[in-house]
Amino acid sequence: MDKRMSAESFMGVGGGSITAESARNLRIGEDLCRKRKPNEAAPYLLKALEDPNNIDAIIQMAFLMSTINEGLELLEEGVARGRRHLIRQFGPDCFEDDRAGSRVGQFWGLLETRPYMRVLQAIVRLAFEVKDYQKAANTIIEMLRLCPGDNMGQRFWLGSVLLQAGRTADALSFAQVWLNLPRDVDWPPRGGCTFEPPSKTPLSAAASEEHKYSPCSLLYTAALASYKLWGDCDVSRQYLSVAAKANPHILVRILAKVEQPKTLNNLPRAPNGSEEAHDYLWLTQNLWMASDVWEWANNDAGAKSHILKTCSREGCHTREVRAAEFKRCGGCKEVVYCGAACQKEDWQAHKKSCKEHQKQKEFMRAMMAGRSMPRSGSGDGPIVASTDFTPNGIATTFH
């Protein structure tokens, strides 16, 4: 959660562990970074760094360094500073399991620990960028040890990172633990990182039905990992089918061989929506494009039945025969048409919702970029259909 929208907004960054002046300079520097003015931001961040407890200023500076490795070195310094600060705050055993003074399991719940957790999250991002997947995975595992409830959503990354690191069985074990979590249990031990041997038992009908509401990253991780472990089997096909039902955007882009996203999408998102699909593919799409994996997914009729679309014009029942065959509306990118004639005929019925969707998206982009909301245009002509799958999101920086 953004520290400006949480308890830190009124109790101070890290629970008030940094000075008001340092917090002010950090806030100005972060705002300038959001506006893509790094040269103007740097002096404020350097001023903020005069307070040794301001770990968030280290994080922001790390993303302004000339190389990723320099950024990682700076973040490691942030980890060291953060540990020293928390040990002073809570005692020498605060990072240890099963000690009287342990705070393990309470991280993030304690405001003082949040900057430390954020610096670990930043390490995950940069380590992944330089393809140090083991470091990224082990850092997430440490985050889940400290905060098994996963307030920072790292469980949506770990399966993908473990697969990239070649830890296929661990990836499937992790996904299955979270997918099979009993309803009366908030989170699994150590955040799901005990890594027991994964199960090859096929899913029951009830489990398949329930899983269609599960996070798409966990479902696609389970599908890919089970295929890599055991090939084309009942459980791998089941996971793929449920994953395609939960978030068809991912399988559509894989089977259509759309280019892998080059950046993360920082826009707000609905569960299992296109933004989550974008970020999952940024993490993992190269693994799905391996020839054997792609052929397996493309030949699964059950999974493909969830992604083939029907023309959006009322009365037209034409259905795709291959993924992404129809063109999407170039404005909202939410509806598809079998041809230009149907798109043109449907425009009057679709126009209002299309314009509203575009305004909502533009508002979110403006908000994320720190811009004022642009005035809406007055054109009423139909928007040309497009097969462009590139995101309309703003260029991303990590915050």
What's the pLDDT tens digit per position in 124-146? Answer: 999 999 999 999 999 999 999 99
pLDDT at residue number 321: 81
pLDDT at residue number 251: 96
Reported as a pLDDT band with limits 50, 70 and 90, residue 380 is very low
Query: What's 392's DSSP letter?
Result: -
Give helix 168-179 / helix 216-230 axis angle, nearest 10°.
Answer: 140
Where helices occur in the chain by DSSP H, the ranges are 8-11, 20-34, 38-48, 55-62, 68-90, 114-129, 133-146, 155-164, 168-179, 205-211, 216-230, 234-246, 248-255, 274-288, 291-298, 301-304, 340-369
Q: What is the b/e burial string over 253-273, where b = at least 16 CB atoms within 10 angstroms of the residue's CB?
A: bbbeebeebeebbbbeeeebe
Cβ atoms of 344 and 311 closer than 8 Å: no
Higher pLDDT, 288 or 344: 288
Reported as a pLDDT band with limits 50, 70 and 90, residue 281 is very high
Which of 4-8, 90-94, 119-123, 131-135 is least confident? Answer: 4-8
Triad 26, 28, 32: Cα angle to 5°: 115
pLDDT at residue number 356: 87
What CA–CA distance (Å, rounded) separates 328 from 338? 9
Which of 31-35, 362-366, 373-377 is least confident? Answer: 373-377
Give helix 168-179 / helix 155-164 axis angle, nearest 10°.
Answer: 160
| Structure tokens belonging to residue 75 | 């973040």
Contacts of 169 (CB under 8 A, 6+ apart): 195, 197, 198, 225, 229
Which of 25-34, 101-110, 284-293, 319-328 is least confident? Answer: 319-328
pLDDT at residue number 399: 29
What CA–CA distance (Å, rounded) separates 32 from 179? 40
Q: Is the pLDDT of residue 122 over 90?
A: yes
Q: Which of 143, 136, 134 minimizes the C-alpha distance to 166?
A: 134
What CA–CA distance (Å, rounded) separates 15 from 105? 18
User: What is the pLDDT averaged over residues 108-116?
Assistant: 95
Residue for token pair 């002073």: 88
Q: Is the pLDDT of residue 345 over 90?
A: no
Reported as a pLDDT band with limits 50, 70 and 90, residue 294 is very high
Of the CA atoms within 13 Å of residue 243, those in its CB half-sphere come to 28
Q: Is the pLDDT of residue 314 over 70?
A: yes
Residue 328 parent element (H or E): strand 327-328
pLDDT at residue number 265: 86
Q: What is the b/e burial string over 163-186, where b = at least 16 CB atoms within 10 angstroms of the residue's CB?
A: bbbebbebbbbbbbbbbeeeeeee
pLDDT at residue number 10: 80
What's the pLDDT tens digit per position in 168-203? Answer: 999 999 999 999 999 899 999 999 999 999 999 999
Higher pLDDT, 396 or 56: 56
Average pLDDT, the chain: 89
What's the pLDDT tens digit per position in 317-338? Answer: 888 888 877 888 888 888 889 9
Q: Which of 217, 215, 155 minimizes the C-alpha distance to 188?
A: 155
